Structure 1
Amino acid sequence: MNKPTESISYQPRQVQLLQQLVRKGEGARLEFKRKASNPEKIAREMIAFANTDGGTLLVGIGDDGSIPGLKYPEDDAHVVNEILKRVRPALPLTETFIALGHNRTVIQYDIQKSEQKPHHFLNTNQVKESFVRVEDKSIKASREVREIIRRQQKQKDIQFRYGEHEQFLMKYLDEHKHITLKEFVSLTGMKRFYASKKLVLLVLADVLRVSPHEKGDVYSIAYRKVS
């Protein structure tokens, strides 16, 4: 994947498209990195894109939207490619070198929405970590979100029993905007494993929707209108 700097030719149209993209600012499908100085974080951002709706990561762009580029892009690309060896399954992405002139280059990574998700990363403690994209942040995926993503890939008709706890949950959500797994466990007295299983099934059945959050996923009624 690496390219020697000399082989990268300046293409005005390519730079113009880059500038237009940068002007959009970071968001659900766009992330800026000044350098590849924190490769693990870059891997997490890419995983989040692949596990959600895809996106673009630009290396050589400041958080403020400035475009300083990279003096030695092949070094940054090598660092990124090495860290991606710890991602499973391999990410569906393309790497493009964009010459800015004056011996500066931006690396553009386009990550597709994956058909093999959830992707995960082996951290330094050999623990699997997976991530999803929420607005302009990449958030560590909970066990429930990982399970939902995995089962959505091969989803068939989901069946569940509309019992006492499901009735309680729907009544609760009719009066409140949302609930967390911890709250569901506390309010029903269920064991966490069974409460988790019920919430996952209801999301897969399109009865509930889940909003991943750093402090705990939030569940709400799927058809509720967002004000």
Structure 2
Amino acid sequence: MAKKHKILNLIETGEGKQLDFKFEVSDAAKIARSLVSFANTSGGKLLIGVKDTGEISGIMSEEELFMIENAAAKYCIPQVPFSYKEWHLNGKKILEINIVKSTNAPHKTPDQNGRLKAYVRIQDQNKLANGIQMKIWEKLNPQRDIKFVYSENAKKLLNMLGKYDSLPLKQIVSKLSLSRFKIENMIAELIIMRVINMTVTESITSFSLRDPLDDD
């Protein structure tokens, strides 16, 4: 039995956190959002010439690669590095774009109003990075020292999380007598220290105590 082509196996897994299908690339500014989302999250692949349904349409020219190069260089700040491969299957060409998880996050790209925004990959969607994620990146800046004080408020937060499987930020804010700004800063520091986890879905962001056996 003939071995199934690597690309077919990849397509069968479907779109997700680390895989996105594109029928074509016609707008460098728009595709930049996918590049920064992958770079800011866990890395991933773009398959150009594949419809959302998984049907292989193929690409007709080198225009798509030019658009990706233009997007990475001009619309991603800082620039997002990538590698690529071309695959030929049943007379159709597929462009595979590989983006690794960045050590230089956050990467940003202009939104519709020209304002620089950071995006992350949530399931199979590109979404704006939330305030806590932005604070995590800010605190991880190598030019800044993280000075965390294990305060009474931090103890209250950890005790609270210990009573639940997880809690959304709104409930945490309602239970602690602190400003949202201070709570977000405290949560960001505890995430960096690998004490709590942040789980982000399309509908909610929640927090839980980190299992010491968790392996990120």
TM-score of the superposed pair, with normalisation by structure 2? 0.83
1:193 to 168, 175, 181: 181
In 2, Cα distance between the equivalents of 1:213 and 1:128? Answer: 23
Q: Percent identity?
A: 28
Secondary structure of the corresponding residue to residue 167 of structure 2: coil
In 1, Cα distance between the equivalents of 2:151 and 2:103? Answer: 34
* Structure 1 pair 156–122 and aligned structure 2 pair: CA distance change class (3 A): closer
In 2, Cα distance between the equivalents of 1:153 and 1:109? Answer: 28
1:1-227 map, 5 Å: 16-37=5-26, 39-71=28-60, 73-84=61-72, 85-100=74-89, 102=91, 104-152=92-140, 154=142, 158-223=146-211
Secondary structure of the corresponding residue to residue 117 of structure 1: coil
In 1, Cα distance between the equivalents of 2:146 and 2:111? Answer: 34
* Structure 1 pair 223–143 and aligned structure 2 pair: CA distance change class (3 A): same
In 2, Cα distance between the equivalents of 1:48 and 1:184? Answer: 27
* More displaced stretch, 79-88 vs 166-175: 79-88
In 2, Cα distance between the equivalents of 1:27 and 1:126? Answer: 27
Q: Which letter maps to 2:47?
A: L
Secondary structure of the corresponding residue to residue 65 of structure 1: coil
Q: Which letter maps to 2:129?
A: A
* Structure 1 pair 150–212 and aligned structure 2 pair: CA distance change class (3 A): farther
Q: Which letter maps to 1:68?
A: S
**Contact persistence 2:122–2:202 (CA under 8 A):** no
Cα deviation, 1:43-82, whole Å, max 9, x if unaligned, reads: 22221211122111101112222212122x3233333333
TM-score of the superposed pair, with normalisation by structure 1? 0.79
Structure 2: segments with no counterpart, 5+ residues: none
Q: Which letter maps to 1:61?
A: V
Paired residue total: 211
* More displaced stretch, 154-163 vs 122-131: 154-163
In 2, Cα distance between the equivalents of 1:124 and 1:79? Answer: 18
In 2, Cα distance between the equivalents of 1:169 and 1:77? Answer: 48
Secondary structure of the corresponding residue to residue 130 of structure 1: strand
Equivalent position of 1:7 in the other structure: none
